[in-house]
Amino acid sequence: MKAVFDTKDKSAYDDDITWRYHFPSRYLSVAEQCVGDWIVYREPRADGGSKAYFAAAKVKAVEPDPNKDKHFYAWLSDYFEFDEPVPWTVNKRYWEEELRNLETSQVGVFMRGRSVRALTDKDFDDIMLAGNGFTVKKEIPDFASTQSDETDATRKRRTVQALTNRTIRDARFRGKVVPAYEGRCAFTGMEMRDRKGNSEVQAAHVRSVADDGPDILTNGIALSHTIHWMFDRYLLSLTDDYRLIISSDGIPERYRNLLVGEGQRIFLPKDERDWPSKTFIEFHRGKFQEKNG
């Protein structure tokens, strides 16, 4: 079953929306039915929230919070941030079937205590189409078809493809990371482009996809192809203050000479909000230390 999970930046719960959602026991029944399926995140109205839907994720498991009675965690994977937020309503029409069946005056009362609520497959597909029109039209030209004869099965197939196809997800990820670094390799400072202006650098995940690393800008870093290869194999890593750590072996001297140097600060985006998250850096560095003794 699919669902909506309401969350906000300054949540009172122990949320990290890319991989965990914390909730009280009153939502347990709905959350457990979502295991193996997708949810949509929405920002609630509280504290000036936009009320918009902004991302999707897949629920892997639901487990009790070992430290807080009557609270639980939904463990998530495949976090998928929308190209653009989807407004709460469009032309005064709600996206969620339960809300469409109510009088407008009743919606506010209905929403109290319903931060986790079921969502139909069709409503999920519609929200996905609305939030990801730019990317999916580029990667799957017929994805956002609005033809009246398009079947629900076709829409569902296209939605799943956008969520799970690694080529599409990687294209979206690169489209965020490379511009933030202005096409420059963070570890060498080099910027190479072809005659059409296409950048040589790749978008590397700090916390790898294999380790459930999300496709978000703060889990990304722009690296040249060979440097990316070394970073993925934990021959290179970072300190919490963005200084380079280099393995004592496994890197030829000619490649070492390209890097900024052991203990030197790497090249970062101008906007500090786009820098790699220290949580993801810590995870990568832990793997580096395991591999390098």
**Tokens, residue 96:** 């969620």
**Would the pTM of this model clear 0.75, i.e. be above it?**
yes
**How many angstroms separate the CA atoms of 52 and 88, rounded?**
5
Q: What's the domain range around 57?
A: 2-118
Question: Is residue 135 assigned to a domain?
Answer: no
Amino acid letter for position 288: F
The contacts of residue 251 (CB under 8 Å, 6+ apart) are 230, 235, 236
Task: Out of 118, 135, 151, pick the residue that ends a domain.
Answer: 118
Residue 100 contacts residue 50 (beta carbons within 8 Å): no
**How many angstroms separate the CA atoms of 288 and 282, rounded?**
10
What's the number of CA atoms in the CB half-sphere (13 Å) around residue 241?
Answer: 3
Please state, as a whole number, how many other Cβ atoms lie within 10 Å of the Cβ of residue 154.
15
The H helix count followed by the E strand count for the chain is: 10, 12
Question: Is residue 234 assigned to a domain?
Answer: yes
Maximum distance among all Cα pairs of the chain, rounded to whole angstroms = 70
Task: Out of 93, 118, 143, pick the residue that ends a domain.
Answer: 118
- Return the C-alpha torsion angle 233, 238, 240, 241, nearest 10: -160
Tell me, yes or no, whether 97 and 197 share the same domain: no
Domains contained in the chain, number = 2
Question: Is residue 142 assigned to a domain?
Answer: no
Tell me, yes or no, whether 104 and 191 share the same domain: no
Looking at residue 101, what DSSP letter applies? T
Tell me, yes or no, whether 102 and 8 share the same domain: yes
pLDDT tens across the length of the chain (293 residues): 999 999 988 888 999 999 999 999 999 999 999 999 999 999 998 877 899 999 999 999 999 999 999 999 999 999 999 988 999 998 889 999 999 999 988 998 999 999 999 999 999 988 988 887 644 444 434 434 444 445 667 767 777 777 777 787 888 899 999 999 999 999 999 998 888 888 899 999 999 999 989 999 999 999 999 999 999 999 999 999 999 999 988 888 889 999 999 999 999 999 999 999 999 999 999 999 999 97
CATH number at 29 reads 3.10.590
**How many angstroms separate the CA atoms of 287 and 236, rounded?**
10
Tell me, yes or no, whether 110 and 183 share the same domain: no
Task: Out of 118, 147, 163, pick the residue that ends a domain.
Answer: 118
**Tokens, residue 51:** 């009320």
